[in-house]
Structure 1
Amino acid sequence: MMSDRIQNVAGACAVGALAAHLVSTVLQNTPDSYNQDLRIFTGGWTVPGWRFFAPNPGVQNVHLLVREVASEGAAPTPWRDVTPEVPHGWKQVLWNPASRGPKALFDAMQQLSVMCANQAEFAWVTQSLPYQLVFSASRAAVANDSKALQFLLMNVFPSAPPDQRMKPILTSEWIPLRSPVRAGGAVR
């Protein structure tokens, strides 16, 4: 009898502590104008302060466009979007190993966007690891016998008016391609 009472009290305390933690977490993550410092009420217990996308939520998509020259003196091909598609479905919430490659490319394109927004010198940008990663992704998207390629990073603002939806971020120089890509993707 006494052990049932102790279990009930312990269960009620656990549920109460969990409820207090959840409520304080929600209150801690309200906008700053409503946010109160809850540390004085929690007795040293850390309350998570998640700001997922704040204060600058993503409002644009970055696209990678590529064009190439097939032979000396030939006209370049039209720009084409080679941004990897990432499948979205209920299974991807639990297991999505295919998202790592596109995420790495997206992060590199975002870093190049930041560099350009901060007026980084073009010579410095072309020596950066993000630039090299985007070049490698571009190289993998063109024909094996192409002589040169150029890539363009484009911000697309889906919610903007139609005439303001696209804004170029970075256009590479024409990059000569010395040798074809092997089956494994490495340049010889």
Structure 2
Amino acid sequence: MTGNRIRGAAGAFAVGALAAHLVSTVLQNTPDSYNQDLRKFTGGWPIPGWRFFAPNPGVQNVHLLVREVPAGGAPATPWRDVTPTVSHGWKQVLWNPGSRGPKALFDAMQQLSVMSANQADFTWVTQSLPYQLVFSASRAAAADGSVALQFLLMNVFPSAPPEQRMKPILTSEWIPLDSASDPKEAAG
């Protein structure tokens, strides 16, 4: 009899905790939420903060383009898109560890977009962690034997008219590859 009461109480507690968690998650994720201080009522229990696409859905893609100066004084190569692709299949819904690298690069490119939109000083931008991450990805994509590279972040609006589909965000200076271990040394 006592065992049934304990099991019943534990089950009721679990259902109540799950219901409280779901309600607080919904409240936390309402648009323009006034519940930002809701965490102080949960005793340290984390409440997910999902925003998905609202209230500002993404309407553009950010692409990373690179061009290099080959050794031997040849002219610069044309721009080429080195944006990493992430495969999307039914297995990736359950397990997709390969998405972390491209997501980190995408987040860095988004931060550089925000800095550019807010007219941040270029010297400050070149010393930021997002710039260093994008430079590292660009350097990894550079052709062997290149002596310098330049990268370009480009916003692509797929639903815009063709003449308004692409908008440059940020173009790096030419970065020498033979002596640059990081962009701060090349920019300084």
TM-score of the two chains, using structure 1 as the length reference: 0.71
Give how far 1:101 is off: 0.7
Structure 2 counterpart of 1:59, which letter? Answer: V
Question: Residues 88 and 24 from structure 1, CA distance in 2 versus in 1: closer, same or farther, beyond 3 angstroms?
Answer: same
The corresponding residue for 1:77 is 77
Give how far 1:109 is off: 0.4
Q: How many residues align?
A: 173
The RMSD of aligned alpha carbons is 3.4
The corresponding residue for 1:157 is 157
Asked if the contact 2:31/2:55 (under 8 Å) is kept, the reply is: no
Give the percent of matched residue pairs that are identical in Structure 1 and Structure 2.
Answer: 82
Give how far 1:74 is off: 1.8
Structure 1 counterpart of 2:51, which letter? Answer: F
The corresponding residue for 1:147 is 147
Q: Which runs of 4+ in 1 moved over 4 A?
A: 21-32, 48-51
Question: Residues 30 and 114 from structure 1, CA distance in 2 versus in 1: closer, same or farther, beyond 3 angstroms?
Answer: closer
The corresponding residue for 2:56 is 56
Structure 2 counterpart of 1:68, which letter? Answer: E
Distance of 1:76 and 1:127 partners within structure 2: 25
The corresponding residue for 1:185 is none
Question: Residues 93 and 154 from structure 1, CA distance in 2 versus in 1: closer, same or farther, beyond 3 angstroms?
Answer: same
Identify unmatched segments of 5+ residues in structure 2.
1-10, 36-40, 182-188
Distance of 1:82 and 1:177 partners within structure 2: 17
1:102-144: CA deviation from partner (whole Å, max 9, x where unpaired): 1111111011001101100000000111101101100111122
The corresponding residue for 1:132 is 132
Worse-superposed segment, 52-61 or 137-146: 52-61
Superposed counterparts of 1:96-115, under 5 Å: 96-115=96-115
Distance of 1:156 and 1:149 partners within structure 2: 22
Superposed counterparts of 1:26-37, under 5 Å: none
Question: Residues 27 and 101 from structure 1, CA distance in 2 versus in 1: closer, same or farther, beyond 3 angstroms?
Answer: closer
Asked if the contact 2:65/2:83 (under 8 Å) is kept, the reply is: yes
Give how far 1:55 is off: 2.0
Question: Residues 177 and 31 from structure 1, CA distance in 2 versus in 1: closer, same or farther, beyond 3 angstroms?
Answer: closer
Question: Residues 66 and 50 from structure 1, CA distance in 2 versus in 1: closer, same or farther, beyond 3 angstroms?
Answer: same
Superposed counterparts of 1:36-51, under 5 Å: none
Identify unmatched segments of 5+ residues in structure 1.
1-10, 38-43, 182-188
Distance of 2:48 and 2:132 partners within structure 1: 35
The corresponding residue for 1:86 is 86
Asked if the contact 2:29/2:51 (under 8 Å) is kept, the reply is: no
